[in-house]
Structure 1
Amino acid sequence: MDSLTLTDGRREPVRRRSAEPAGRPVLRDRPRAVQAVALTVSPGPPPPGLSAAKVVAYLHGPEPYLLIPDPAPGMHRTLVRWLQGRSAVVGPVVARADAGASLRWARTLLALTPQRPGSTGEILFVEDHLAKVVLLQDPLLAGHLSAKWLARLQDMTPTQQTRMEQTLLAWLEGGGATGAALLLRIHPQTVRYRLRKLERLFGSSLRTSQARFEILLALKIHGMAAECARLRHRAEELPSRQASGPRQDIRPIGP
């Protein structure tokens, strides 16, 4: 794997080749803080703002990324200008020893937001999607928690499931039948009718704080996973010819 120090635009070999696969990105200097950026493609030549910051880039593997040492306050604007039109996720600023965690979180969010081939990319910040990353960074465990509670609705039709999930979520977030009715814009009596059905399915679990908390997480996970699935489906719907071939406006860095 190659690395690139953006201060001079020259490609140099990584000395510790085992660091990247183990999740510990290599930094030649010893900054106090680091911010990782997960990329989908290698961007073009860096602007002066990035060069001055001594950003280190790893652009020649299947998952290119940047490491920004001690990011300055204006670094976000510089990144947005440089990566315009390309998908990327900016991780949070962390201590140097936690650079791998910042990169892992950025890659998690990048995987959860698939882009349609040929479409204009989007730059996301993990700080704006912390709940999604926390809940979905372990898909298997998240799916297990969701199935633990929501499998009780599996004998219903899809429409009934959706109504019950919406009612249960509104009840948990609204603090009762009246609050749920306001959130759903339906009559409180309709909410109470649905809640009686839910009580038969969930039993005494709805009366314990721990179970209510887990059910709320399960509903949030289910909703986020469904949205990710919709995004992925839309991305896959485009004709394959739009997804084939390199983007003409993207140039690799280096010779």
Structure 2
Amino acid sequence: MALSTAPGPPPPGLSAAKIVAYLHGPEPYLLIPDPTPGTHQALVRWLQGRQAVAGPVVARTDAGASLRWARTLLALTPQWPGTAGELLFVEDHLAKVVLFQDPLLAGHLSAKWLGRLSDMTPRQRERMEQTLLAWLEGGGAAEAAQLLRIHPQTVRYRLRKLERIFGGSLRTPQARFEILLALKIHGMAAECARLRHRAEELPARAASEPRRDARSIGR
């Protein structure tokens, strides 16, 4: 289990579960045997107010891999100041963790394909990426139009432009698979960036709001 910040000493109920806690240094973590429901509840109470990610249960020799996956997801999760932490599970976000195990390689894959749209305006690029994703996921222009709630002819027009940009790649299964991954990586990275930006704005927004004492309430 990867932790955003170190908690205090574990309560007696958790000590009995033989939890190994490394709470010093910039990346605190826990090693926990396959948790029972009671252990899970005690963990949530102990870690309240801290962001934490639990890796999947693996053989002892693979514990380092489970922790690495947990840290990957923790790095993608924005830390919300002043809010209670949340216990996340890698098992619920496997695709995201797989795509971002090597952020540099993921970014290279995204740039390899989506960089071809760099000459467009941000709005044009967004429309093309949405159309391409809907087409790849839906399996055809009619299905993409239904997903996007636009006219099929609009989808076909955009697809013709995309075919001029990507050439014969859109007819190659391997290229279509890589383009779909690139779109997924781009979308997840953009969403993480938006959430992180919102999290960073919270302290500044709270500081700028005028404080009201009890006497001013109701006036």
Does the alignment reach a TM-score above 0.5?
A: yes
1:71 equivalent in structure 2: 35
- Unaligned 5+ runs, structure 1: 1-36, 244-255
Q: Report whether the alignment pairs 1:149 with 2:113.
A: yes
Answer with 162-171 or 82-91: which moved more.
82-91
SS in 2 for 1:237: helix
Contact 1:118 1:242 in 2 (8 A): no
Select the structure that is richer in helix.
Answer: 2
Whichever residue aligns with residue 62 of structure 2, its letter is D
* Mapped pair 1:219 → 2:198: no
1:112-161 Cα distance to aligned partner (Å, 9 max, x none): 11212222221110000110110011110000000000011101000010
Partner of 1:194: 158
Match of 1:81 in 2: 45
Could you tell me how far apart the structure 2 residues matched to 1:213 and 1:164 are? 17
1:170 aligned onto 2:134? yes
* TM-superposition CA deviations, 1:63-111 (whole Å, max 9, x none): 1111002433543333223222211001110110011111111111101
The structure with the largest strand share of the pair is: 1
Match of 1:183 in 2: 147
- 1:93-112 equivalence runs, <5 A: 93-112=57-76
Aligned alpha-carbon RMSD (Å):
1.8
Separation in structure 1 between the aligned mates of residue 39 and residue 125 of structure 2, nearest angstrom? 45
Change (3 A) 1:209 1:74: farther
Give the aligned partner of residue 172 of structure 2: 208
Residue 136 (structure 1) aligned with residue 136 (structure 2): no
Change (3 A) 1:90 1:242: farther
Structure 1 residues 159-212: Cα deviation after superposition (integer angstroms, max 9, x where no partner): 010000000000000010011011111111111011001000001000010000
2:31 match: secondary structure: strand
In 1: Cα distance, 2:142 partner to 2:42 partner: 48
Q: Which runs of 5+ in 2 are unaligned?
A: 208-219
Shift of the 56–120 alpha-carbon distance from structure 1 to 2, 3 Å rule, reads same
In structure 2, the partner of 1:59 is 23
Give secondary structure in 2 for the equivalent of 1:124.
strand
Percent of residue pairs bearing the same amino acid type: 86
Counterpart residue number, 1:91: 55
One-letter code aligned to 1:153: L
Q: What SS does the corresponding residue of 2:24 show, helix, strand or coil?
A: coil
What's the CA shift for 1:240?
Answer: 6.2
Q: Report the alpha carbon displacement of residue 242 of structure 1 after superposing the two structures with TM.
A: 7.7
2:81 and 2:203 in contact (8 A); partners too: no
Name the amino acid aligned to 1:198. L
Q: Does the 8 Å CA contact 2:128/2:162 hold for their aligned counterparts? A: yes
Q: Helix, strand or coil for the counterpart of 2:57?
A: strand
Count the aligned residue pairs: 207
Q: What TM-score, normalized to structure 1?
A: 0.77
- Distance of 1:52 and 1:207 partners within structure 2: 58
